[in-house]
Amino acid sequence: MANPTVVTIAETRIPVTLGGRERVMVFNANAMVAYEQARGKFFMDTVTGLYDTIFPAGHLDPDGKPIKVRIDGTDLIRKISMEDLRALLWSTLHDYDKNDDPIWPDTIGKIGRQLTFQNMVPIFIAFLTGVSNNAPTKDELGESTAEETSAEPNAEKESAPQTTATNGGAAGIELPAGALD
């Protein structure tokens, strides 16, 4: 077995103004877990769905880069529920106590009271920037160790039913022994 590459979830910080004061959105595993606990949904499924909606695959320039898409408040709330939007933002607005444990000084409801059509889009764009800056690169992820499958069964190989995890994908990253203990 090859030594797996260690990929860490970075900590990206993006400043925003919310409720008339400067805040810092912190993008790390603690934000992801907080969102998942608050909404009962996978953080990355929600974020990936947003990217797929805002930047459809056909919206690429000749160099293969996403075309800038103009987002306004009405478009935004038609693409994501307000419950998800405020929970995504809330989950990133955390601090740390003296023991370095995450704390959320505001409730989700308080974040909802501070969102307006005027600040929603800039904050949401800051959110997407933070998520993008925090994502691992192709080189960090490396090649998948999962067996390749074909839509057509190979005559020389017996076709086994393909299984997928509940999060929508087959395993692709090898975890070191004891990683989940």
pLDDT tens profile 92-148: 999 999 999 999 999 999 999 998 888 888 888 888 888 888 776 666 666 545 455
Can you tell me the distance from the alpha carbon of 89 to that of 101, in angstroms, rounded to the nearest whole number?
A: 19
Tokens read off for 23 = 């805040």
Tokens 């929508």, located at residue: 168
Which one-letter amino acid corresponds to residue 63? D
Predicted TM-score (pTM) of this structure: 0.65
